[in-house]
Amino acid sequence: MLAHTLISYLSEADYLAMEMTSQERHEYVDGAIFAMTGASRAHNQIGINLVSFLHTQVKDTRCRVYMSDVKLKIAHKKTYYYPDVMLGCSQNETDAYAVTEPCLIIEVLSPATALIDKREKLIAYQNISSVQEYCLVAQDKYRVEKYTRHQNSQGWFLDHYGKEDRVPFVCVDCEISVRDIYSGVLA
């Protein structure tokens, strides 16, 4: 989760060196670093449900699922985020601590980060050419918003999913029920 506290300005190299030894995680946006806060149990369970499902779908493929401790590097913006869930299928990944070409990014919304996830990160993620889908998952109600890149243009479709729906993931050709996303969280 991203806190709104600006810590200081650092070079990209200094940020990466600091992050290797820091007890806390920090997101980096063109020199500004932001300390991450802890997640709620609901947030964590939703993330586990999604990672478990996606891992099962891709376990015998070249694709990999990553949780919130692996950075997303957006090189052209000198930015590093820690998405809640990422899925990548690129064989071009060389950094042991960061992904640069995910096809799916999922953020679980919280009161402290919802606006950042819906505005700043939405724009940043949509500008990564490998990203085909970006999902925003509420943690307090059955609500999933999914942005899907239109195959023939730079446009995006926005779909909303509720309790009785199934969310398709085009990047790995599978779908999960919204109820399964919230298993152990909502009745």
Domain-embedded: residue 153? yes
Select from 84, 40, 37, 44 the least CA-distant residue to 183.
44
For residues 38-75, one letter each, b for 16 or more C-beta atoms within 10 angstroms of the residue's C-beta and e for the rest, the string is ebeebbbbbbebbbebbeebbeeeebbbbbbebbbbbe
For residue 2, pLDDT beyond 50: no
Report pLDDT digits (tens) over 151-177: 876 799 999 999 999 999 999 999 999
Domain-embedded: residue 107? yes
Domains: count for the chain = 1
Q: For position 135, which CATH number holds? A: 3.90.1570.10
Query: pTM of the full predicted structure?
Result: 0.91
The count of other CB atoms within 10 Å of the CB of residue 132 is: 22
Domain-embedded: residue 14? no
Domain-embedded: residue 3? no
State how far the Cα of 5 lies from the Cα of 59, in Å rounded to an integer: 38
Domain-embedded: residue 29? no
Domain-embedded: residue 163? yes
Residue numbers of the domain that contains 120: 39-72+80-181
Domain-embedded: residue 116? yes
Report pLDDT digits (tens) over 73-114: 998 888 999 999 999 999 999 999 999 999 999 999 998 889
What are the residue ranges of helices labelled H in 40-93? 41-58
State how far the Cα of 95 lies from the Cα of 4, in Å rounded to an integer: 27
Domain-embedded: residue 167? yes
Report pLDDT digits (tens) over 54-84: 999 999 999 999 998 999 999 888 899 999 9
